Amino acid sequence: MAEVFGFCDDRFAEVRDILAASIDAGSDVGASYALTIDGEVVIDLWGGHLDENRTVAWQEDTIINVYSTTKTMSFLTALMLADCGELDFDAPVARYWPEFAANGKQDVKVWHLMNHASGLSGMDEPMEPEDLYDWDKICAALARQKPWWEPGTATGYHAITQGYLIGELVRRISGQTLGQFFASEIAKPLEADFHIGVPESEFPRIANLIVAGTGEGPAHDDPESISARTFRNPFSPAHYSWTDAWRKAEIPAANGHGNARSVARAQTPLACGGRAFGVRLFSEDTAHQVMRPRISGKDLATGVPQTFGLGFGIVPESVPLSPNKNTCYWGGWGGSAVVIDQDARLSAAYVMNKMADGLNGDFRSFKLLAAVYRGL
């Protein structure tokens, strides 16, 4: 069986075995898994290789692009600003970003941005992948754009745009980019090795994603559908994540770099009433707001029924990831995922290099999580 390194509490030996078996079977090439319970690290595992030829081992400090799992870090920045009274989720976005009121968006609320309900799931102005590195260009175009549906009435997955929308609010309020705010106010205090905009000094330990198929994302029958327009523009093929330009940029919905340890660690305060590892990010009430459903229905971009609290997806009864009610989750294109269970006070994360087809997690992380609950 494949060798898996790190620490695992005896209660969760099955998790180690499942991760090793997944690497053996080729479902994973290299991967990491981490779990905190009540603010204590009880699983911190990694194994496998960085390359398909299995010549270079996945290391303890390996980091990799986690795509939309990055969104969960953006949510933490917004929760912090709301907790200190700087941001009101029920206020119009234009209160903080006046230009955003253009083209009928004067009543779009901050929570609409958090929950993919602003009507700006994609962009009208044609964008090249390299345009994603131009923050001002993307934000100016979004501020000018008319919503594709009435804001607040439905969700449409803001695959790339959400990070710019939340990030511009963070910049307008704090004077820092979202990546800078996250680094100074969340990652550093929590000692979470997660980056939105990676310093060049960290490049040597970044692994490349092993791309599934063409790396071009989902296909669409109707090119004019909201779904097709969302994922087509802006779009960046998966192999762009291998480039220095992608790694240095701040794309707070898609280009965060970390490993399971850093993802689970960063989200542990949310699992524990706003405080963990001696650091308070926000109040217990703010933490609980995440679990209060704000909007539900079939998502216009993904076609999947979804319920959102504040940013995070609320675990539906039809997909029993957890036996506990107050559980939320999100994941990234290819398979990375994080689950936060406030009833069990746990934060669980899976990060890998071999991409699968899913947009928000897949069976590999689900199997590991099921073993976690069996061990509780």
- Give me the domain span that covers residue 56: 4-75+179-375
CATH number of the domain bearing residue 336: 3.40.710.10
For residue 161, being part of any structural domain is answered with no
pLDDT confidence of 214, banded at 50, 70, 90? low
Whether the full predicted model's pTM is greater than 0.95, yes or no, is yes
Share in percent of the chain as helix, strand, coil (round to 5): 40, 20, 45
pLDDT digits (tens, 9 = 90+) for 223-266: 889 999 999 998 899 999 999 999 999 999 999 999 999 999 99
What's the CA angle centered on 375, arms 369 and 376, to 5 degrees? 95
pLDDT, averaged across the chain: 96
For residue 101, being part of any structural domain is answered with no
First to last CA, the chain: 25
Per-residue pLDDT at 212: 80
**In the sheet that 4-8 helps form, which strands lie side by side, from edge to edge?**
4-8, 40-48, 30-37, 346-352, 337-341, 327-331, 313-314, 305-308, 295-298
For residue 102, being part of any structural domain is answered with no
219 pLDDT higher than 70:
no
For residue 253, being part of any structural domain is answered with yes
H-helix segments, 124-193: 135-144, 161-174, 178-182, 188-190
Q: How many domains does the chain have?
A: 1
Residue with tokens 């934060």: 347
Per-residue pLDDT at 220: 64
320 pLDDT higher than 90:
no
pLDDT digits (tens, 9 = 90+) for 88-133: 999 999 999 999 999 999 999 999 999 999 999 999 999 999 999 9
pLDDT confidence of 205, banded at 50, 70, 90? very high
- 16-20, 234-238, 322-326: segment of lowest average pLDDT: 234-238
Element (H, E) at 43: strand 40-48
For residue 27, being part of any structural domain is answered with yes
Reference 207, options 319, 352, 68; nearest CA is: 352
**C-alpha 309, offset from chain centre:** 15
DSSP state of 267: H
pLDDT confidence of 340, banded at 50, 70, 90? very high
For residue 85, being part of any structural domain is answered with no
For the record, the structure tokens of 346 come out as 């746990």
| Residue 291: partners with Cβ closer than 8 Å, 6 or more residues away | 309, 314, 325, 326, 327, 328, 342
361 pLDDT higher than 80:
no
For residue 81, being part of any structural domain is answered with no
pLDDT confidence of 182, banded at 50, 70, 90? very high
Q: Give SS3 for 304.
A: coil
For residue 222, being part of any structural domain is answered with yes
| Bridge partners of residue 4, in order along the sequence | 47
